């Protein structure tokens, strides 16, 4: 008889699934909104309980989905690492929805709002399942769920450029999941398993005997490439700015902050649990990931510098941040992975905050998005201005903010490798580049424009928009708090991550 807490991961996944199903029948958009927010919050609470249980007990457990033990039936596996990520993901999901609420109800037609929340519920379920899964094929199925749901979130705004961005996103995602599935097929053909523990044993044996070397290498490469395409790893990022920059505020926040991370978490779990870091280093895959990560860090930032559409700028900045995470994975050490995981958390707090604040700032400036028209908008909603400032500071990596700590950990992890100088230089360069586009953005929102310009902008603003937005302010406050917690009390969190990576 297992302890009751061990049911909670499964409960949270099912809660989200069932909420998605039930939501489709409710007509009122407001009710579905509240259901979704509550479900996400409940999932966060449940997962926090799991986190406490696993961290204090220093254990991880396998939960069979059904009566059949591995390798016969599906299973999920849960430890501190997964529980922490799941908690943060669910909490950020709820906050992003709350923060983008006003835009959401404006952008989506009333009769379709419930369908939007169906997508959000399913996305939550698939994120949790991707985090917890112990079965590679379940991973594939939930990747497809999150593909459809994410595309639907992009197109929910339903104007022309959005539809085109969606179809580009969809095709790119399909390429990614196709590559992932064929990689999985090849892996299955040489090992014969789908559950991760058995896969790990079989892969370890193949590594020793040296059989099927080519298929093993190719399947690792295909799986990494497939998940890389879906999480906008550098050369495959072309779809991202349109998709994330054009969507409604809450969608952008969820997509940029969470959905990209879901795939990366699956990749990290596969690397740690199945392939082992040593094998990846042996096959040279880590070096490729490292190179792409470093390139992404630089080129993503450069692309962001050329952008003056604020949301697209943030989207390009996501490319750079995903580059950081992949760089950590590519270091090929446990330290690198810990730094990456921490950065996932930091970015999951920062990017939604930035997107929410950008959405709010543009709402008080007549829904203009270019930096020129946002001049002085921070004074029209000081909360949004402060939130944007905090997010940007954290992105640049100022001490006391979350981003600084993760950069510190990246630098620490880079020291034992042979390429310390290059990696440190790249981090430094990328920091400078980050500053080069976030500082002008900050100045733009905080510097008052000439009176006539401001009057021109204000003429476009609907007076309702200027009213105080309670749910947005609450959401921004929560995320800001999260950034400070990550930046100041980071030690317990890295301890949890470390325990999780050890136990995985």
Partner 1 sequence: MSKDRERARFTRRLTAWVDGEREPKDQTLFVMEQHPPRHVRQSEEEFQRREEDRLRKFFNWYPIAAAVICAVLVAILLTTVMSMPGFGEEDNPINNEVSDRYLEYGAEDTGSENVVTAMIIGYRGFDTLGESCVLFLAVAAVMILLLRDRKNTSELEVRQIERDEAEAMSHEDLILKQVAWVLIPFIFLFAIYVLLNGETSPGGGFSGGTILGAGLILFSAAFGFRRMQVLMNRRRYSAVRTFGLLLYGVLYGLYIFIGANGLPNYLTGMILLIDLAVGLVVACTMYGFYALFSRGEI
Partner 2 sequence: MLSDILQNRYAVTAVILFGVGFTNLMLQQNLLRKVIGFNIMDSAIFLLLASLGYIDGGVAPIVGDRGFDPLYINPIPSGLVLTGIVVSVSITAFSLALIQRIYRRYGTIEMRELLERAKKEDD
Residue 85 CB contacts under 8 Å (≥ 6 apart), including other chains: 131, 261, 265, 341, 344, 345
Element (H, E) at 20: helix 8-23
190 binds partner 1 (CB under 8 A): yes
Q: Which does 63 bind (CB under 5 to 8 A by kind): partner 2, partner 1, none?
A: partner 1
Q: Which two tokens stand for residue 276?
A: 């082992």
CB of 449 to partner 1, least distance (A): 7
Q: In the range 88-127, which residues lie near partner 1 by CB under 8 A?
A: 109, 111-112, 115-116, 118-119, 122, 125
Residues that bind partner 2 (rule: CB under 8 A) add up to a total of 30
Q: In the range 209-248, which residues lie near partner 2 by CB under 8 A?
A: 242
First to last CA, the chain: 23
Cα–Cα distance for residue pair 130/364, rounded to 1 Å: 37
Among 22, 334, 419, 461, binds partner 1 (CB under 8 A): 22
Environment class of residue 2 by beta-carbon count within 10 Å: exposed (0-12), middle (13-18) or buried (19+)? exposed
Q: Which does 443 bind (CB under 5 to 8 A by kind): partner 2, partner 1, none?
A: partner 1
455 binds partner 2 (CB under 8 A): no
The residue with tokens 């995985």 is 504
The residue with tokens 């197109």 is 155
User: Are residues 249 and 310 in contact, defined by beta-carbon separation less than 8 angstroms?
Assistant: no
User: Are residues 317 and 301 in contact, defined by beta-carbon separation less than 8 angstroms?
Assistant: yes
Render the burial of 81-117: b for 16+ CB within 10 Å, e for the rest. bbbbbbbbbbbbbbbbbbbbbbbbbebbeeeebbbbb
Strand pairing partners for 63?
76
CB of 474 to partner 1, least distance (A): 28
Cα–Cα distance for residue pair 112/93, rounded to 1 Å: 20
CB of 482 to partner 1, least distance (A): 29
182 binds partner 2 (CB under 8 A): yes
Query: How many alpha carbons fall within 13 Å on the CB side of residue 338?
Result: 25
Site string for partner 1, 302-341 (x = CB under 8 A): ------x---------------------------------
Among 26, 41, 167, 408, binds partner 2 (CB under 8 A): 167
CB of 182 to partner 2, least distance (A): 5
Q: Which does 1 bind (CB under 5 to 8 A by kind): partner 1, partner 2, none?
A: partner 1
CB of 280 to partner 1, least distance (A): 18
189 binds partner 2 (CB under 8 A): yes
Environment class of residue 306 by beta-carbon count within 10 Å: exposed (0-12), middle (13-18) or buried (19+)? exposed
CB of 159 to partner 2, least distance (A): 8
Site string for partner 2, 123-142 (x = CB under 8 A): --------------x---x-
Stretch that binds partner 1, among 40-48, 213-221, 277-285, 319-327 (CB under 8 A): 213-221
Element (H, E) at 220: helix 213-230
170 binds partner 2 (CB under 8 A): yes
User: How many H helices and E strands in the chain?
Assistant: 23, 2
Q: Which is nearer to partner 2, 160 or 463 (CB)?
A: 160
Q: In the range 277-296, which residues lie near partner 1 by CB under 8 A?
A: none
188 binds partner 1 (CB under 8 A): yes
456 binds partner 1 (CB under 8 A): no
CB of 442 to partner 2, least distance (A): 22
Q: In the range 1-20, which residues lie near partner 1 by CB under 8 A?
A: 1-2, 6-7, 10, 14, 17-18, 20
The residue with tokens 């993503």 is 300
User: Are residues 9 and 78 in contact, defined by beta-carbon separation less than 8 angstroms?
Assistant: yes
Cα–Cα distance for residue pair 407/139, rounded to 1 Å: 30
Q: Which is nearer to partner 1, 416 or 450 (CB)?
A: 450
66 binds partner 1 (CB under 8 A): yes
7 binds partner 2 (CB under 8 A): no
- Interacting residue ranges for partner 2, rule: CB under 8 A: 137, 141, 144, 147-148, 151, 155, 160-161, 163-167, 170-171, 174-175, 178, 181-182, 185, 188-189, 194, 242, 309, 368-370
């Amino acid at each position: 008889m297992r302890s009751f807490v061990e049911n909670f991961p499964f409960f949270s996944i099912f809660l989200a699934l069932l909420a998605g199903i039930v939501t489709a029948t409710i007509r009122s958009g407001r009710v579905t909104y509240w259901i979704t927010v509550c479900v996400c919050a409940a999932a966060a609470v449940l997962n926090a309980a799991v986190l406490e249980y696993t961290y204090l007990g220093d254990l991880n457990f396998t939960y069979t989905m059904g009566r059949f033990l591995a390798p016969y039936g599906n299973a999920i596996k849960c430890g501190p690492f997964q529980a922490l990520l799941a908690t943060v993901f669910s909490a950020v999901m709820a906050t992003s929805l709350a923060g983008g609420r006003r835009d959401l109800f404006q952008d989506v037609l009333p009769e379709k709002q419930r369908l939007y929340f169906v997508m959000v519920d399913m996305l939550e379920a698939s994120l949790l399942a991707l985090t917890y899964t112990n079965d590679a094929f379940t991973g594939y199925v939930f990747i497809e769920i999150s593909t459809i749901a994410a595309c639907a979130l992009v197109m929910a705004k339903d104007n022309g450029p959005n539809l085109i961005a969606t179809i580009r996103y969809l095709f790119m995602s399909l390429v990614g999941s196709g590559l992932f599935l064929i990689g999985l097929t090849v892996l299955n053909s040489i090992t014969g398993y789908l559950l991760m523990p058995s896969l790990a044993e079989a892969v370890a044996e193949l590594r020793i005997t040296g059989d099927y070397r080519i298929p093993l290498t190719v399947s690792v490469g295909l799986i990494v490439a497939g998940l890389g395409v879906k999480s906008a790893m550098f050369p495959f990022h072309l779809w991202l700015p349109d998709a994330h920059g054009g969507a409604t505020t809450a969608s952008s926040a969820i997509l940029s902050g969470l959905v990209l991370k879901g795939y990366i978490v699956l990749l990290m779990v596969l690397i740690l649990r199945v392939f082992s870091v040593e094998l990846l280093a042996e096959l040279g895959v880590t070096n490729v990931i490292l190179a792409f990560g470093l390139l992404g860090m630089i080129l993503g930032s450069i692309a962001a510098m050329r952008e003056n559409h604020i949301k697209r700028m943030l989207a390009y900045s996501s490319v750079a941040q995903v580059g950081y995470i992949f760089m950590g994975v590519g270091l090929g050490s446990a330290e690198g992975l810990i730094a990456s995981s921490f950065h996932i958390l930091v970015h999951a707090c920062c990017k939604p905050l930035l997107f929410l604040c950008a959405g709010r700032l543009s709402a008080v400036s007549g829904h203009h998005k270019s930096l020129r028209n946002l001049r002085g908008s921070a004074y029209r909603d000081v909360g949004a201005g402060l939130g944007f400032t905090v997010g940007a500071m954290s992105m640049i990596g100022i001490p006391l903010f979350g981003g600084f700590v993760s950069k510190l950990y990246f630098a620490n992890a880079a020291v034992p490798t042979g390429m310390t100088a290059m990696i440190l230089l790249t981090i430094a360069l990328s920091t400078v580049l980050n500053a080069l586009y976030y500082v002008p953005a900050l100045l733009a929102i905080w510097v008052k424009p000439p009176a006539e310009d401001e009057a021109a902008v204000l003429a476009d603003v609907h007076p309702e928009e200027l009213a105080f937005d309670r749910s947005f302010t609450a959401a921004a406050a929560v995320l800001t708090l999260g950034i400070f917690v990550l930046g100041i009390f980071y030690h317990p969190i890295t301890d949890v991550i470390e325990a999780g990576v050890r136990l995985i």
